[in-house]
Amino acid sequence: MQAQKDIEEITDGGGGGSPPPESFDALMAKLHGVFAGFHDRRTGRNTRFSMLDAALGAFAVFFTQSPSFLAHQSAMQKARGQSNARTLFLMDKVPTDTHIRTLLDAVPPESVFPALDAVFEALEVTGFLSGFRGIRGSRLVALDGTQTHHSEEIHCKNCTVRKHADGRTTYSHTVLTPVLVAPGNPRAVPLRPEFVIPQDGHDKQDCEIAAAKRWMDRDADRYRLEDTPTTYLGDDLYAHEPFCRKVLERSEHFILTCLPPSHKTLYEWVRLLEDDKDVRTVEKRILNKNKHWEVHTVRYAGNVPLTDRDDALRVNWLELVVHDADGRETYRNAWITDWEITDGNAHAVADSGRARWAIENGNNNTLKTKGYHLEHNFGHGQEKLSSVLVTLNILAFLLHTHLDAADGDYRLVRAALPTRKTFFEHLRALTTYICFPSWSAMLDFMMQGLEIGPYEPPPKPEKRRRRAQAPR
């Protein structure tokens, strides 16, 4: 098969040396190896399209952000005997949307996880993740669930079913999307997801918190650093005793949004501590990213009970209020944490807690509104199709993140275009009409058209040689 020859040329160097392990071509070869292992339940002779081509076809649509990518490549293949589906994504044959949905319906989303791991590990090698640290150098993992499907008609056996008082029944899918975040960094790096689906042996419907606990048991250690534990960030849903105790049992930490309506006992204690002047205040003047001065005021209190039970978990509470130069309040939020808070680290704890917003703006909102269309019904299926397509979509986002960190030419082209949307518009147009022999050849073509030079890494400083000195 031609695609297999392409893989061998990539991994063996094709006579010109192997590509860097973090390059697009090398990662596509790894994805090829993962997808080739997808279980094929077909037993007859109707195997025109392979499981590999079905997975690559779905991934290519998400990566190019072009729903019509496969149709264009199929037409190019018929006209020229070659297509970008083969040269860029290593596909043997271009499957139809119907074949992709049918073949992937029985594939567990966990089958895609080794591909996510390969891209994450490559991203780790680049050093890009070294800046994703929070309080005391800990790795910040933000947890949040987002709905990917909601309908009164379309459903499968893995849907969450809700019966409403007005007689309606709705079906939905929710996925937990853990991400790495960092204070002041708008980016979020997606990790392995966990799906909210009916669990074997459980009468109750699954929920986001249960999914988060499963993720911690199965996947959290994969992302834990040797020198420091993880700090989990979450919204008010997570700021409850069972989840907090789960984190502490793992010898890890939490900074969780804590709102007064759902934590009345805690806030009654905070008010009592305020009366006794046991709530400390630390204020700092900061120049924000727009070069405007702000005043950040942190109030905090220690050893506050989370509930009204005698054996309630004791936590530390802090609140951040931001005022602009005119004294107007621009931000207010509060958290609970197990980290000890002092005057010296109160602002650092608040900055880490505040980093959680990146899971909404930098991850879930990006996946929903920036071309990935996470909530769009690309195909629901009867078994696992919806979940495996979501996972492939997240994989495309992670690979884009990696390219932005490791591919200088990609970064140069992106910087020369006004928006992310413009880049993918160009990508869709070019791959519709031109067959490129490789990813790097396509970027070279774009750089020539934009009249920008190829990326050249800065030269390494030369080491000065010490002159030999004559003995005195």
Single residue among 296, 324, 345 that ends a domain in this structure: 345
Question: What does the block give as tokens for 53?
Answer: 């081509």
The proportion of the chain whose per-residue pLDDT surpasses 70, expressed as a percent, equals 89
Single residue among 319, 345, 371 that ends a domain in this structure: 345
Q: Confirm whether 141 is domain-assigned.
A: no
Q: Confirm whether 137 is domain-assigned.
A: no
List the beta bridge partners of residue 378.
Answer: none
E strand map for 59-184? 139-142, 145-151, 160-163, 169-176, 179-181
Q: Confirm whether 10 is domain-assigned.
A: yes
- What is d(CA 87, CA 7) in angstroms, rounded to the nearest whole number? 10
Average pLDDT, the chain: 89
The whole-number pLDDT of residue 12 equals: 47
DSSP-based three-state secondary structure for 9:
helix
| Structural domain harbouring 297 | 252-345
Q: Confirm whether 384 is domain-assigned.
A: no
Q: Would you mind telling me the total number of residues written for the chain in this entry? A: 472
Angle at 215 between CA 226 and CA 357, to 5 degrees: 80
In terms of Cβ atoms closer than 10 Å to its own Cβ (0-12, 13-18, 19+), residue 457 is exposed
How many structural domains is the chain composed of? 2
More confident residue, 9 or 182: 182
Single residue among 309, 330, 345 that ends a domain in this structure: 345
In sequence order, which residues have a C-beta less than 8 Å from that of residue 221 and are 6 or more positions away?
none
Rounded to whole angstroms, what are the CA distances from 404 to 123, 180, 290, 398? Answer: 10, 16, 24, 10
Chain centroid to CA 149: 19
What is the average pLDDT across 320-329? 95
Q: Confirm whether 83 is domain-assigned.
A: yes
In sequence order, which residues have a C-beta less than 8 Å from that of residue 282 and are 6 or more positions away?
297, 298, 300, 343, 346, 347
Q: Which of 371, 380, 386, 389 is nearest to 426 (CA)?
A: 371
Q: What are the residue ranges of helices labelled H in 335-461?
A: 346-354, 357-358, 365-369, 385-406, 408-416, 420-433, 439-450
- What is d(CA 270, CA 264) in angstroms, rounded to the nearest whole number? 10
The whole-number pLDDT of residue 15 equals: 44
Position 443 confidence tier, pLDDT thresholds 50, 70, 90: very high
Q: Confirm whether 430 is domain-assigned.
A: yes
Angle at 132 between CA 128 and CA 133, to 5 degrees: 140
pLDDT surpasses 50 at 472: no
DSSP-based three-state secondary structure for 142:
strand
What is the average pLDDT across 6-15? 46
More confident residue, 394 or 470: 394
Q: Confirm whether 339 is domain-assigned.
A: yes
Q: Confirm whether 374 is domain-assigned.
A: no
